[in-house]
Structure 1
């Protein structure tokens, strides 16, 4: 049975140890586009900024990538992504804007995004600032495609 998809903007999140890539969909859920790369901060300013974006977009769902190993196992990066998602959920609840959150397997999205940017001639130095956004786009687009086709 296909998962019911409500209309509205979805926000994709690629959680890294240094940066967080953010993407958003159109309200019809057809296309994911890059939004911003946030620098991770111990004080949680990145979580506050992300929560503010989610509220601003009126997101109906947050899609967080889980960086599983090539064998599909959960490692430290998955635990870190889950922890970040939990803290994001708490931040949104604190500001009175709870939004459902789902996880998507994101194996190799950053590697693929890096390769695609290199193929397009984006220099290594500039790639670092946008690769997380490109990975967030891939994560979100996978979710949008799964919702549309009922596969996944």
Structure 2
């Protein structure tokens, strides 16, 4: 597996959860939550890319459980395209059908009310996406 940081995004209509991994691709951690409608969003993304210098970017692609593409998947694909125009590394869509459900369950199991922790859930969903992407990379190598 190539050494370098990867970044994952859980794109939503209101918020975008962001996660990053260490250069060895071992540990994915929550980074931040961005507001989709923020006028400074592109600037914030550019700052993240400058600071972390990712070698690969992953964007969660929400599909229906039967595999059909959702309206949200189209929005995520458009966001991935924008990231591809900004970043100097590959951008890949990753199936994220259960990332938010898994993140919400994990937060609830640790005693956190999901309504009070929406931004944290978005970050945790991005961690789930990144962990899945890292497993795919490790299995290819």
Task: Identify the match of residue 84 of structure 2 among 72, 89, 103.
Answer: 89
- Give distance in 2, aligned partners of 1:42 and 1:128: 17
Instruction: Give the RMSD, CA atoms, in angstroms.
Output: 1.5
Unaligned runs of 5+ in 1: none
For residue 89 of structure 2, give the secondary structure of its aligned residue in structure 1: coil
Single out whichever of 81-90 and 7-16 deviates more from structure 2.
81-90
TM-score by length of 1: 0.87
Single out whichever of 46-55 and 78-87 deviates more from structure 2.
46-55
User: What is the deviation of 1:59?
Assistant: 0.6
Task: Identify the match of residue 68 of structure 1 among 51, 63, 67.
Answer: 63
User: What is the deviation of 1:42?
Assistant: 6.1
User: What is the deviation of 1:106?
Assistant: 0.4
Q: Paired residue for 1:110? A: 100
Residues 15 and 65 of structure 1 are in contact (CA less than 8 Å); yes or no, is this contact kept in structure 2?
yes
User: What is the deviation of 1:150?
Assistant: 2.4
Single out whichever of 100-109 and 123-132 deviates more from structure 2.
123-132
Deviations 1:67-118 (A, max 9, x none): 011011112111000111112222x1xxxx5221111100021111111101
Q: Paired residue for 2:119? A: 129
Residues 83 and 91 of structure 2 are in contact (CA less than 8 Å); yes or no, is this contact kept in structure 1?
no
- Give distance in 2, aligned partners of 1:139 and 1:88: 16
Task: Identify the match of residue 47 of structure 1 among 42, 51, 55.
Answer: 42
User: What is the deviation of 1:51?
Assistant: 2.5
Residues 114 and 127 of structure 1 are in contact (CA less than 8 Å); yes or no, is this contact kept in structure 2?
no
